Chain A
């Protein structure tokens, strides 16, 4: 026994399915927008996850290394390594820059990490192709989003690096893919000036009687050498031994090393509350508006669908169909439309998500919430339609 709703759907099934698909695409856009919002937050969290650190030691009174510039001497990590509760400590540098590759500019975040042993904080935790960096110099591991392939050669500042491995989901908080170099190479890329600047600096030094005193030519050489070298890092990533309280270890480092230390929770707050807060809120606001507009459109579609059948409903009333049956038919149709719409939306969102330039994260919990929201909106919209249907005069079926 086929239901009244089913019969009505079958009567105009093409229209019904097409309406559902249209609705679905709208829902898909809303789901994608939620995915964009989640992806933005996930990018920030991925940055923290991938660094593999429990604590971030940065220049005193800065929000570094992601939100503000920070610079520390590389040997800061040595005394930290010796502190109770610290398992590993490794210097790391971050530098966002453009790299020319095959005629195009690729925006990457160059990360310098200690490569000597696997699992040092700052290294990419997993690879999807190739190998880790073995040589201390001129090898790089890139995120797959950079578009680089294994054995590609990329030029960072003055040196050429060979891509030996690829990884995924290694992005900066802004979504720029990462390029991992050995720490020394990255320091060179970050702190060493280009040849022109060095030559100009030398000339400047030579013309200064203070830096190039007549009668003591060794001073100028010493000044040039001092200006050309740098062994700084942007932050020291620290992991704590299992069971140790990160907050306590952070307090000890803060107290005795006189540097600023952030725990994971604080770093997350800096990234999410301070760095991406505005853009995330922007997307969030748009998501709210989109959800309201989608809900309104769904409601209108169901309402107009019912109004379009008002003459048939009048006939049903005329032949004595009870109100419950009519209401049930409208509700079932609305929920059916919602189901089709949700399914199409979810599928569409999943299929077009990978084509977004930045990460789109479709959480199952979001989908579930979206499902219930769609069903609730459909039910509410059908109430309006039912109200209109029940008010209809059976005489309209024969009159006009």
Chain B
């Protein structure tokens, strides 16, 4: 008896230890590793209003950028403005070195003066010819009379007639000379005006009021025709040149409201709207391009800054929706795993729009209130054993 009691107690203790071991072993064999059930969370399919949103990124650009440069090659003589300065319409921004233009204008002025003198000489010649004609005419008339009275020989009369014709031709020649001289004066005048015009073209002026954003060439630089010397923009008219992924850009149209977040001011989004959707998309990056204008009153950002644009599309009416984390693709079917009688079952669905919070519209295939598996610790198969938990992991 004295020995039996401790022995049975020992046996009990040993049994307890062994039983605990067996229980633990059973637990770990079934609750961990590949045999363990997959932990999942579920959500009920419910109706909600989906407000699809498009998300794009872009850079702030000026609506109009004026690149002002000479129309002919030349050397920059001086710049009158610096970056950041505001300029008025017509203000001189830069001068191109005229080189020999002034001399050529002087030469043209000389030619014009000479043409005027020549024209005056031609006018005097016309007056002279007119006087000669008048004299010849009166002499010819007198000769005719004398000839009729028999006082003059035919030969003398012919001489008078010839003198008259010569005087008439002389006048015509003088008149033609005068016309040529005045034409010449016009030509030299126009040449001079052209050179002056060219000179004024060397003054680069602002086409409208704006802000100078770049000084591309400094004095002394030789620029080619059409190369910009000064770039200016109208700071009142900025927009975001935004790019949207083509696959998600359905429904984007002009006038939709947009929220613009600038990289430098993440906490203060600006309001804007789609000004236009570009008719030509970027084929290389596969993005749709759109211009997003800022609403009035927004403090404007630096040009070239990166901006995120979220465009709100019109809200759809309340429809059945599931979170996109629940949506899977098996083979060619897109659908969700539903929980039916404790077992997972894959249900193919027809899906519609998706909103920015990841809710996807269900067009067909699911009834309201049905339990849908949202998250799972492992990918599911139809034969998976599952345990529903509140939260993973």
Q: Interface of A with B (CB < 8 Å)?
A: 2, 6, 9-10, 13, 17, 49, 87, 116-120, 125-132, 134-138, 144, 164-166, 168-169, 184, 215-217, 231, 241-242, 340, 343-344, 346-347, 350-351, 353, 361-364, 367
Contacts and interface: CB of A to CB of B under 8 A. Distances in A.
B28 A136 contact: no
B148 interface: no
Contacts of B379: 49, 125-126
Contacts of A116: 245, 247-248
Most chain A CB inside 10 Å of its own CB: which residue of B24, B35, B375: B375
Contacts of B22: 343
7 contacts: A125-B328, A126-B328, A128-B376, A128-B393, A231-B284, A347-B21, A353-B32
Contacts of B272: none
A138 B56 CA distance: 10
Contact of B25 (A9, A138, A347): A347
B378 interface: yes
Interface residues of B, number: 54
Interface in B13-35: 13-14, 17-18, 21-22, 24-25, 28-29, 32-35
A351 B28 CA distance: 8
A21 to B, nearest CB: 9
Given A10-B11, A119-B334, A131 B358 contact: yes
Given A17-B17, A126-B375, A347-B24, A132 B393 contact: no
B138 interface: no
Given A128-B392, A231-B285, A364-B35, A136 B245 contact: yes
Contacts of B248: 116, 136
Nearest to B13: A13
A126 B378 contact: yes
Contacts of B323: 131
B244 interface: yes
B391 to A, nearest CB: 8
B332 A87 contact: yes
Given A128-B377, A363-B33, A119 B328 contact: yes
B308 A138 contact: yes
Given A129-B375, A364-B33, 18 more contacts: A13-B14, A118-B327, A118-B329, A119-B328, A126-B377, A126-B378, A126-B379, A128-B392, A129-B391, A131-B324, A132-B325, A217-B227, A242-B332, A344-B21, A347-B25, A350-B32, A363-B34, A364-B29
Nearest to B245: A136
Contacts of B144: none
Nearest to A52: B329
